[in-house]
Each structure stands twice: as C-alpha cells, then as structure tokens.
C-alpha cells in the first residue's frame, strides 16, 4: 500500500514538473507596432528595427533569449548548409528559430520553424499578429487564383530537382510594375538576409516576374487579409 502511495506521489510530482516546465517555456515574444500595414515602407521600418539588412545574418547565440535581430558578421549553423561548407560558419552562432525564445546548444535542429520558412513566419507575425499565420490569411496555389501579387504576400515553393528536395519561403518586399522584389533569408548560406532581390531558392535564381514565379513547382501564396 505504501509503495502504491509513493508511486502516486512520484507520478504527481512528475506531472507538476512537466506542467511547470511547459508553462515556463511559453513563447512570450510580442510586437504589434507593424501590424496591418502591408507596405514597403512598413517592411523598411521592420528592417530598421530588427536590423535585417541586406547581407547581414538572421542568427543568434545559443541558450539565450532571441531578439530576432540580424547581425553583420555572424553566419550561423543551419541544417541547410552542406557538410563541406560547415567549417565556414561562426562557431557558437545558430540560425534563428520561430516560434521559440532560445536555441538549444546541442540540438539546433529542434525547437521551431527554421531558416527561410521561420523568417517568413516571423515577418508574417509582425504583419498580422499571428505567431503561426493562419486565421486571417488566404492561401492560393497559383497566380491565376491569387490575382496580382502584393507586398506582404509569403511565397512558398516545394519540389524535387535532380533528386534533391527544394524548399523556400520569401516575403514580397516591393512590387514595381512588372518587377517583384523579396525579403528573404538563405538557409544554405547561414541565414544570410537578402532585401530587394528576386526569389531565390538555390535552383531558381533571382526570379522577379510573375511569369518566372508562377512557373516554379509547388507554389503556395499566403496573403494576410487586414482586419477592419
């Protein structure tokens, strides 16, 4: 009987520890200053605030709260970097993750969205207030269905090329007539930030027209519908 009681107490203690650790790891990041403004000027304000400058890196040190800021000379480890090139990253730095507030030193592949997808989700949060942009977003799988592409749209592609899986996400930064420019990071280049260039997934390079973008396989367009 005493053994059973001890087992129950231990089980309750374990559950309390689990619930406390889960609550303490709750994602606490918040920023609503840029919400509902789908303009290049607003994206420029985000870039300035979070230092997401062209050529900088969206990286962080391990085991600290992330600020999601860019860094000028801190290329970080990401899962997309080829083994042969991993020696080039700055040791102790990792690509930012979303939505988590830390990076595990021993498991940088765990803990949230990573690389280009995580970056696009981060920008999507700033524009919409949704940590996982879903509720007030419309999704289209062709440019015919979406109509004209707009600033703030998140472009996602997934397909196979020569036996390799290609995946990339990017946020439309500006639409200048027929030219479409993006805000994006490259996981294969240590989460390096690119501002004002075409869509680049490592296979398709610098695609700036609707025709080029619409021809990429596995296209998904996410568009935030501003709340009145």
Q: Give tens-digit pLDDT for 136-189.
A: 999 999 999 999 999 999 999 999 999 989 999 999 999 999 999 999 999 999
Please compute, for residue 119, the number of CA atoms within 13 A of its CA located in the half-sphere on the CB side.
Answer: 34
> Which one has a higher pLDDT value, 223 or 86?
223
Q: How far apart are CA 60 and CA 66, in angstroms?
A: 6
Non-local (6+) Cβ contacts of 87 within 8 A are none
Q: How far apart are CA 224 and CA 150, in angstroms?
A: 10
pLDDT at 216 over 80: yes
Please compute, for residue 228, the number of CA atoms within 13 A of its CA located in the half-sphere on the CB side.
Answer: 0
Minimum mean pLDDT range among 102-111, 112-121, 133-142, 194-203: 102-111
pLDDT more than 90, % of the chain: 65
pTM of the model: 0.87
Query: Would you state the pLDDT for residue 72?
Result: 97
What is the band of 87 on the pLDDT scale with cuts at 50, 70, 90? confident
Minimum mean pLDDT range among 47-56, 108-117, 130-139, 191-200: 108-117
Residue with token string 């990792």:
94
What is the band of 112 on the pLDDT scale with cuts at 50, 70, 90? confident
Query: Would you state the pLDDT for residue 86?
Result: 75
């Amino acid at each position: 009987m005493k053994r059973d009681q001890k087992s129950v107490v231990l089980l309750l203690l374990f559950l309390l520890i689990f619930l406390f650790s889960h609550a303490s790891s709750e994602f606490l990041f918040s920023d609503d200053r840029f919400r509902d403004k789908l303009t290049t000027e607003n994206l420029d304000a985000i870039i300035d605030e979070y230092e997401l400058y062209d050529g900088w890196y969206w990286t962080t040190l391990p085991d600290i709260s992330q600020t999601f800021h860019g860094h000028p000379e801190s290329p970080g480890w990401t899962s997309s970097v080829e083994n042969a090139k991993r020696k080039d990253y700055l040791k102790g730095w990792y690509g930012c993750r979303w939505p988590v507030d830390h990076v595990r030193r021993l498991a940088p592949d765990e803990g949230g969205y990573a690389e280009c997808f995580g970056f696009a989700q981060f920008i999507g949060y700033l524009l919409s207030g949704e940590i996982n942009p879903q509720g007030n977003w419309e999704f289209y799988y062709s440019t015919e269905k979406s109509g004209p592409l707009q600033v703030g749209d998140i472009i996602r592609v997934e397909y196979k090329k020569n036996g390799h899986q290609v995946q990339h996400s990017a946020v439309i930064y500006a639409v200048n007539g027929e030219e479409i420019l993006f805000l994006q990071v490259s996981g294969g280049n240590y989460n390096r930030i690119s501002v004002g260039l075409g869509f680049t997934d490592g296979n398709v390079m610098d695609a700036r027209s609707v025709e080029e973008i619409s021809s990429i396989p596995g296209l998904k367009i996410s568009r935030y519908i501003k709340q009145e």
